[in-house]
Each structure stands twice: as structure tokens, then as C-alpha cells.
Amino acid sequence: MVTNGAVYAQGGGTSRPVQLSGHGSSVFQNRFMESALETYYKNQHLAEFGKIAEGSPDLGRKFFDYYGAVFADGALTAREKSLIALAVAHAVQCPYCIDAYTQDCQEKGADLEQMTEALHVAVAIRGGASLVHGMQMREKARTLGM
């Protein structure tokens, strides 16, 4: 079982962390994670996403109406919004969104270079946001007398 990136062994009604170390452990861990993701993220989930509204039709309708309005042409074109969505999809690491917006960008005429540039915008923002948090570390270190 994988929870929050940690690997757990199950047995006797309990779960315990598994130590993955030694020769070949990274290969095992990568294969284990790939297998876990393949069983968790399924292509049909994206195709059936509209069914999520069945549990609460009124809220589902409101969400999908809003979603459609957000992605309609406005001050930004639908193509520009799709490129933004692709970048955000990578930042939030949503495989469904990455698949959907890669296809949507292509359908709206974006090429690989444009999609890759949008991805780099997300990478720069995410990296910069992580790096700027180093200011909190510097401040704490300063107050501790380092």
C-alpha cells in the first residue's frame, strides 16, 4: 500500500512502513509506485468525470456551468486559458488535468513549444515559491543567533 509516498506492508490487520534500501531498492520503489499509480489513476475516470455530479446534481450542475464559463473566450482566449490550465495542472500534479489540457491545447492550436513554455512558467513559479520560503528559514536562523 502507498500512502503519501510511503510504502506500507499489510498483514495481520495492521500496516507498517517498509524500509526500501540497498541495491536495487530505487528500481523496486519506482516499479511499485508506477504499479500503484496505474491502479489508482484510470483513464476512464477522466472520461466519466461528469458522473461525479450524480451524488449532488444541483452542485454538480453549478460547478460544470461555472467551469464552462471560466474556459469560454473572454479577456483571454479559450486557447490561452487552456495553456494556463495545462501549466496549473503540472503545478498541482493532476494527471487527469495534464492529459485533458494537453489534448485541449492541441485541439485549440497550441504546439509543443508553447505547451512546454507554459509548463516552464509553472515550474518557475513553483520553484520560486519554494525558494522564497527560504526567507523564513533565514529569519528563524537569524533569531536563533546563527
Question: Are the CB atoms for 104 and 76 separated by under 8 Å?
Answer: no
Mean pLDDT of the chain: 83
pTM of the model: 0.68
Paired with 16 in beta bridges are: 9
Residue type, 73: D
Report the 3 state secondary structure along 81-111.
HHHHHHHHHHHCCCHHHHHHHHHHHHHCCCC
The grid cell for 116 is 512546454
The 10 Å Cβ neighbour count of residue 141 is 10
Q: Which residue has the cell 449532488?
A: 56
DSSP letter, residue 54: G
pLDDT at 5 over 80: no
pLDDT at 8 over 70: no
Residue type, 64: F
Over residues 88-124, the pLDDT tens digits come to 999 999 999 999 999 999 999 999 999 999 999 999 9
